[in-house]
Amino acid sequence: MINGIISYSLRSVSYYLTVKQKRQAVVQFILLLISSVLDVFGLASLVPVLLVAAEPGGVHSSRFFYPIYQALGFSSERSFLVALIVVLLIFFLLKNIFSTWVNFLQARFTAAVGLDIVRRQLRKYLHLPFWNFTDLGSSSLINSTLQVPNSYVNAIIRPLFVFFSELTVIAVITIAILVYKPVLIAVLAFVLVPTTLLTYRALRARSQAIGNQLNVLRPAALGIVSDLFSGFVELKLAGRQQRFADRLLRNQSDVQDLDAEVYLHSMLPVRIIEMVAIIGVLTIFLYSLYGSTGNGGLIALVGMFAAAAYRLMPSVNRLLTSMMHLKQHQYTIENLELFRAPEYDEMPPAQQLPLSFRHELTLDNISFRFPSQAPEEAPALQNISLRIRKGDKIGFIGTSGSGKTTLMNILLRFYREQQGQVLVDGEPLTPQHIQAWYELVGYVKQDTFLMEASIKDNITLGAPSEEINSERLHYAIAQASLTDFVATLPDGLDTFIGERGSKLSGGQRQRIGIARAMYKKAQVLILDEATSALDNETEREVNEAINALAQTDITILIIAHRITTLRECDQIYELKQGRVIAEHQYQELVQGIV
């Protein structure tokens, strides 16, 4: 059972450490051990010194100190004792400097490992297949990339060090006592081992359960807080703010209760062990009172038992606490293992190839089904073949759920077709072209991603000012029909747009998305028109930008919910249940011929 969590944690840690870090860990462990042994030695050395100091003529009668006293040529006990105290002081000073250095090394080491794990988690989530990614909420992502690595370092890696160093200290003390007084070991083992095991057994399942509960409650709290504040307007108008606040408070009340229980658990082992040690002392003592053996021997045994137990107790306590930490945070090990299998890794190959788009973008007999779809369900896209010439303006219409966004995600390579292929100028678009392809395409989503930053930052996606090409920036703003709007702003391009663009209208937001695509010189622009909140003004603003772009040789693919958005389109494809069922011209649609 103890073995279970320790070997599970060790296997996990060894997965994350590089060969060099493993070597460092071994060195750290040895240093930690030396530091612990020095601690034990330091405390143990105080007793004989105090004993000789307390008794007049103590040095002369000491079998240990007297030879040293003589060899060093001391003439008075007092000066010998002063020298002894100075030596002790220097020893403690050096020991503590050494221990602090060891702690420093260990802190640096675990911090470096923690950073590596955050890096790995980020890399993992950034290269997750898109449908896996979209299944995860932002609160779960924040938890997995920030909180979990932190807890893993504090509650798995550090306790493992503690566990092994304390285990070794206990072993060293045990061997010392074994050599000195074997019977004492029998008594100690009889008293301490079952207590430790029973305490651990009693708390282990609860510790793990608390950890698991906290792992659910904490990300849930992030989710509620985020809904509560981002939905400020809607929740206030609906009179629902208090309900969300109450949900958060219920969550936090559970978190606080569990945290309190964790705190209590951390205090319990030392109390239990102390109690049992005292019972041990008193039992021997009682036995000596009523037993037949000579009292002197037993009273000495009681003294030694008490001293040994006293020294062992903190180590046993730390051992137990570290095991409970491991149990409580076992969920972090499990969390880090999520999505670790190679099939979740969509990291593009390092060797990237160039790609040019001069003539034609082809979708050749594309079929795609989501992994979550049942085999009897029709694929989300079926046998789609399209040829889009460079500079074409293409519209996509169809009822909700007909597959328009899925098709764009295929084009953007967020999804990979199971059948068919996407070709650019006759060349299949492979993962090796992904970087070049992403330089060519721009995507303006229904809910354009906006940062809480200036307009300039939002268009350049936070490029440092020395890297910003201002000519291109002004071109992008003009192309997105934003010039007049920017001119009205007090700080121009440096105006802050509020969180998620809260100070902008819907049309302005979409046009910032268009400017972003233009700034990066996208040659293919995918526009996903917003279904909701598309008032006439917004539509006019977006259409104005599209009309301006129609004069360029940029290829535009528009998913439209309003026919008027498609005025400039050369072709309009209608999708239904994952198939292209018709091809239209704008005039036909407007005149209601179809």
Ligand X SMILES: Nc1ncnc2c1ncn2[C@@H]1O[C@H](COP(=O)(O)OP(=O)(O)OP(=O)(O)O)[C@@H](O)[C@H]1O
The verdict on 351 binding ligand X (CB under 6 A) reads no
Contact in structure between 361 and 245 (CB atoms under 8 Å):
no
3-state percent helix, strand, coil for the chain, nearest multiple of 5: 65, 10, 25
User: Would you count residue 405 as binding ligand X (CB under 6 A)?
Assistant: yes
Stretch that binds ligand X, among 65-73, 276-284, 397-405, 454-462 (CB under 6 A): 397-405
Does position 67 interact with ligand X (CB under 6 A)? The reply is no
Both structure tokens of 70: 């003589």
Of the pair 379, 507, the CB lying nearest ligand X is at 379
Among residues 208 and 402, whose Cβ is nearest to ligand X? Answer: 402
132 scored as a contact of ligand X (CB under 6 A): no
Residue with tokens 């439209």: 560
Please check whether residue 84 is in contact with residue 50, taking contact to mean a CB–CB distance below 8 angstroms: no
Q: Determine the interface stretch with ligand X among 37-45, 291-299, 348-356, 395-403 (rule: CB under 6 A).
A: 395-403
Task: Confirm or reject binding of residue 406 to ligand X (CB under 6 A).
Answer: yes
Please identify, using beta-carbon distances, which residue of 235 and 397 lies nearer to ligand X.
397
Q: Under the criterion CB under 6 A, does residue 131 sit at the interface with ligand X?
A: yes
Residue 362 C-beta: closest distance to ligand X, Å: 20
The strand pairing partners of 387, in sequence order, are 362
Which residue, 265 or 369, is less far from ligand X as judged by CB? Answer: 369
Q: Segment near ligand X (CB under 6 A), from 83-91, 400-408, 492-500, 548-556? A: 400-408
Stretch that binds ligand X, among 70-78, 181-189, 401-409, 484-492 (CB under 6 A): 401-409
| 370 sits near ligand X (criterion: CB under 6 A) | yes
Residue 533 engages ligand X in binding (rule: CB under 6 A): no
Q: Binding-site residue total for ligand X (CB under 6 A)? A: 13
Rounded Cα gap, residues 303 and 40, in angstroms: 18
- Does 581 engage in binding with ligand X (CB under 6 A)? no
Nearest approach, Cβ of 575 to ligand X (angstroms)?
A: 6
- By CB under 6 A, residue 114 contacts ligand X: no
The piece of 186-194, 239-247, 347-355, 402-410 that touches ligand X (CB under 6 A) is 402-410
Does residue 418 interact with ligand X by CB under 6 A? Answer: no
By CB under 6 A, name the one of 75, 292, 351, 372 that touches ligand X.
372
Nearer CB in complex with ligand X: 264/378: 378
3-state secondary structure 198-213: HHHHHHHHHHHHHHHH
CB-CB contact of 554 with 391 (8 Å): yes
The smaller minimum CB distance to ligand X, of residues 515 and 526, is found at 526
Taking CB under 6 A as the criterion, the residue among 398, 442, 501, 506 binding ligand X is: 398
CB of 386 to ligand X, least distance (A): 15
For residues 213 and 405, which CB has a smaller minimum distance to ligand X in the complex? 405
- CA-CA distances (angstroms) from residue 238 to 68, 198, 224, 233, 246? 86, 54, 16, 9, 15
Q: How far is the CB of 402 from ligand X (least distance, A)?
A: 4
End-to-end CA distance of the chain: 71
Query: Rounded distance, CA 101 to CA 443, Å?
Result: 53
Do the beta carbons of residue 455 and residue 501 sit within 8 Å?
A: no
- How many Å apart are CA 388 and CA 363, to the nearest integer? 8
Question: Cβ of residue 399: shortest distance to ligand X, in angstroms?
Answer: 7
Question: Between the CA of residue 540 and those of 411, 447, 544, 545, what are the distances in Å?
Answer: 27, 17, 6, 9
Q: Does residue 380 bind ligand X (CB under 6 A)? A: yes
Other C-beta atoms closer than 10 Å to the C-beta of 70 total 11
Residues 162-191 that bind ligand X (CB under 6 A): none
Q: Which of 291, 303, 401, 492 binds ligand X (CB under 6 A)?
A: 401
Residue 150 CB neighbour total at 10 angstroms:
13
What's the order of all strands across the beta sheet hosting 571-576? 441-444, 524-528, 555-559, 393-398, 571-576, 579-584
CA distances to 146, 264, 313, 316, 320 from 193, in Å:
38, 22, 11, 9, 11
CA pair distance 234, 563, nearest whole angstrom: 30
Task: Choose between 8 and 133: whose C-beta lies nearer to ligand X.
Answer: 133
Sheet with 427-428, edge to edge strand ranges: 381-389, 360-368, 419-424, 427-428
Integer Cα distance of 238 and 228 in angstroms? 12
Instruction: Between 398 and 513, name the residue whose CB sits nearer to ligand X.
Output: 398
Residue 462: φ, ψ to 5° = 75, 25
Q: Give residue for tokens 């053996």.
A: 293
Query: Smallest distance from the beta carbon of 236 to ligand X, in angstroms?
Result: 28
Which among 119-127, 182-190, 403-411, 467-475 is the span making contact with ligand X, rule CB under 6 A?
403-411
For ligand X, the closer of residues 62 and 132 by Cβ is 132
**Does 400 engage in binding with ligand X (CB under 6 A)?**
yes
Q: What are the distances in angstroms from CA 174 to CA 185, 279, 389, 507?
A: 7, 20, 82, 76
CB 550, min distance to ligand X, A: 23
Q: Between 146 and 533, name the residue whose CB sits nearer to ligand X.
A: 533
In angstroms, what is the minimal distance from the CB of 564 to ligand X?
A: 17
Q: DSSP letter at 348? A: P
Give me the residue label for tokens 């279970």. Answer: 4
Residue 402 interacting with ligand X (CB under 6 A):
yes
Told to check if 403 binds ligand X by CB under 6 A, we report yes
CB of 583 vs ligand X, minimal distance in Å: 17
> Least Å distance between CB 552 and ligand X?
26
Q: Does 64 bind ligand X (CB under 6 A)?
A: no
**Burial degree of 7 (CB within 10 A; 0-12, 13-18, 19+):** exposed
**What is the smallest separation between the CB atom of 367 and ligand X, expressed in angstroms?**
13
Helix (H, G, I), strand (E, B) or coil at 261: helix
Stretch that binds ligand X, among 218-226, 394-402, 423-431, 480-488 (CB under 6 A): 394-402
Judged by CB under 6 A, does residue 411 bind ligand X? no
CB nearer ligand X, residue 211 or residue 403: 403
For strand 524-528 and strand 441-444, is the pairing parallel, antiparallel, or unpaired? Answer: parallel
Task: Find the part of the chain contacting ligand X (CB under 6 A) among 176-184, 310-318, 322-330, 399-407.
Answer: 399-407
Q: Taking the alpha carbons of 13, 17, 19, 24 in that order, is the dihedral positive or negative?
A: negative
The DSSP H or E segment spanning 422 is strand 419-424
Contact residues toward ligand X (CB under 6 A) are 131, 134, 370, 372, 380, 398, 400-406
